[in-house]
Structure 1
Amino acid sequence: MTISAFEALACPLDGSALQKKGHNWQCDAGHSFDIARQGYVHLLPVQNKRSKDPGDNKEMVAARQRFLSTGYYQPIAEALCHAVFPEGFSEPSISCLDAGCGEGYYMRYLADSAPQKTTLALIGLDISKSAVLSAAKQYKKSAWVVGSNANLPVLPETLDRILCLFGFPVYAEFARVLRPGGEVVQMDAGPNHLKELREIIYPELKEPKKAQGTAPDGFTNLGASVVCYNLALPDKAAIKDLLAMTPHLYRANAEGLARAAELESLNVTVEVTIRRLRKD
């Protein structure tokens, strides 16, 4: 297999093509974006930020990296690879964006699992600078970009796959940058995901949202699969890291977080739905 960095980047200020020139990406209008020493590029204009440092902070990224490196979510990563490279897959090359890549765990796993005869052009994007920095340090073959799903710095119809894993899909943007027939592989928490942890930190659980049945405008459902298994967290550190990489860290009150901090170990249900959507 051949793996390279995706290069069809667009200027976040005017949408025109960016060209790599030395240690910068530049457009014809003269907008220039430095390539950091670690290899990533920051393409999130300050006017598009909702806060000074949006997304996961350094501590959350470190917790995610520790947790995922143990292999706790390896069954999810394997199912993702089956969705991207299903039985009968024969495309000689694909370009793939991980939209909300975090510290790059799933992108690295995908690259390691690609069919031998397939050429991959990879790009990971996250709104968190800390996450992209961590990803860029760990894997050099992909392009890494600080950016937003709401305004992807990618040229129109240049991608074959978009991964949106526990993230925030923006289907109009996904449709813009996907080639006709390209696919979104979307992963969402199922109704029982981490239920045992949620029962401890919340006074009561909300009714789970109903699964989305219809495809978004411009897309066709190709099917969905569910990954469900029991996960044993052996110590306080693993529980703390899991909590730190979920929205529950901010949604739970102080009493709920204190109950979680007292746990010596915990068995939790992992349940995710993986959905494939094809651009019409």
Structure 2
Amino acid sequence: MTIICPLCHTDLQQEKTRWVCHNQHSFDVARQGYVNLLPVQHKNSKSPGDTAEAVQARREFLQAGFYQPLKDNLMNWLAELQAQSILDMGCGEGFYTSGMPAVATRIIGVDIAKTAVQIAARRYAQITWLIASAAKLPIASESLDVVTSFFSPLPRDEMARVLKPNGYLLIATPAPGHLYEMRAALFEQVNPHQPDKFIETLMPDFQLIRQDVLTYELTLEQTALRHLIAMTPYAWKAKAEKRQQLEQADLLKTSASFQIYLFQKQG
């Protein structure tokens, strides 16, 4: 698994305090331990990715264990693949990525949000953390056993490029009824999630070889509920008065429901 320069696409060599390529493009290792491989010209905004508020809310919610059953399930799937190298795209603050060293030897976490990667790098030093764009991965072609994308974008061409022949793509996304009760409190009309909609978009590069649904009940007190709202797109899609009303609830019972897919690269 080779990390490459985002400017000239030659191999990066890791030194003590920097990574440098053959053409002497140099990238410093931040004091938290991550490397920023997102050139200015690849940014869509001054601070791309999730806001600091959303990152912090997600960290608090996930650390409280509400999605631990999903994490455990995903790590079981990865363990069965016996992978050596895994790239976690859209890794955020590293909740899911942090379980991967137990099932593979080399892990890279990539996210475009600087705040998220900073938090991840502080907590999990055994993982290589990169600020980079999933649309332009600084990873050599055909160098990875597995790519994971949990609630993150799915750039088909880039995923296919960096995976070895017959490599695997593991995806987790909301199932149709995910957080239905919460969404019903925020919106006049609740449209089911459509997890299958991207399966066709991944063909012919990937073949679906396994899928499952994980569903369980959640009981959320006010603080956890506020964190959950803030970490989702519902925070800005819902009307302000609806969000405020739900945030004032003492308790909400809802269902977490996740669709898990395992694809294999064709060729």
Output the TM-score relative to the length of structure 2. Answer: 0.94
Cα distance between partner residues in 2 of 1:206 and 1:193:
11
Q: 1:121 aligns with which of 106, 122, 132?
A: 106
Task: Determine the structure 2 residue equivalent to 1:249.
Answer: 235
Q: Which amino acid aligns with 2:70?
A: I
Question: Is 2:84 aligned against 1:94?
Answer: yes
1:196–1:267: 8 Å Cα contact kept in structure 2?
A: yes
Runs of 4+ in 1 over 6 A off after TM superposition: none
Give 1:3's aligned residue.
none
Contact persistence 2:178–2:193 (CA under 8 A): no
Q: State the secondary structure of the residue aligned to 1:84.
A: helix
Equivalent residue number for residue 17 of structure 1:
11
Aligned to 2:105, the other structure's residue is in SS state strand
Aligned residue in 1 for 2:215: 228
Residue number in structure 2 paired with 1:63: 57
Any unmatched runs of 5+ in structure 2?
Answer: none
Q: Tell me, in whole angstroms, the C-alpha distance in 1 between the residues paired with 2:123 and 2:9.
A: 29
Aligned to 2:119: 134
Distance 1:168 1:241 in 2: 22
Residue type matched to 2:245 in 1? R
Q: What amino acid is the match of 1:232? A: T
Cα separation, partners in 2 of 1:69 and 1:210, compared to 1, 3 Å: closer
**How far apart, CA to CA, are the structure 2 residues paired with 1:21 and 1:85?**
31
Q: Which amino acid aligns with 1:75?
A: P
Aligned-partner residue type, residue 72 of structure 1: F
* Distance in 1, Cα, partners of 2:34 & 2:195: 38
Corresponding position of 1:238: 224
| Paired residues, number | 264
Alignment of 1:83-232 (within 5 A): 83-86=77-80, 89=81, 91=82, 94-112=84-102, 114=103, 119-209=104-194, 211-212=196-197, 213-214=199-200, 215-232=202-219
SS of the residue aligned with 1:85? helix
| Offset at residue 70 of structure 1 (A) | 1.3
Instruction: Work out the CA distance in 1 between the residues paired with 2:117 and 2:40.
Output: 17
Q: Is the contact between residue 177 and residue 192 of structure 2 (CA under 8 Å) also seen in structure 1?
A: no
The normalised TM-score by structure 1 is: 0.90
TM superposition shift of 1:210 = 6.2
1:107 aligned partner, one-letter code: T
| Counterpart position of 1:74 | 68
Question: How many Å separate the matches in 1 of 2:100 and 2:72?
Answer: 8
Indicate if the aligned counterparts of 1:197 and 1:268 stay in contact, CA closer than 8 A. Answer: yes
Instruction: Report the AA paired with residue 230 of structure 1.
Output: E
The percentage of aligned residue pairs carrying the same residue is 36
Aligned mates of 1:108, 1:53 — CA distance in 2: 24
Deviations 1:28-85 (A, max 9, x none): 1221111101110001111111110011222222211111111110110111112212
Kindly indicate whether the alpha-carbon contact (under 8 Å) linking 2:35 and 2:131 is maintained by their aligned counterparts in 1.
Answer: yes
Tell me the equivalent position of 1:43: 37
Instruction: Give the CA RMSD over aligned residues.
Output: 1.5
Give, in whole Å, the separation in 2 of the partners of 1:120 and 1:130: 26
Letter in 1 for 2:14: K
User: Which 5+ residue runs of structure 1 have no aligned equivalent?
Assistant: 1-6
Mapped partners of 1:107, 1:207: distance in 2: 28
Give me the whole-angstrom Cα distance separating, in 1, the residues matched to 2:153 and 2:58.
Answer: 18
SS of alignment partner, residue 136 of structure 2? coil
Structure 1 contact 201–255 (Cα < 8 Å) conserved: no
- Structure number with the higher helix fraction is 2
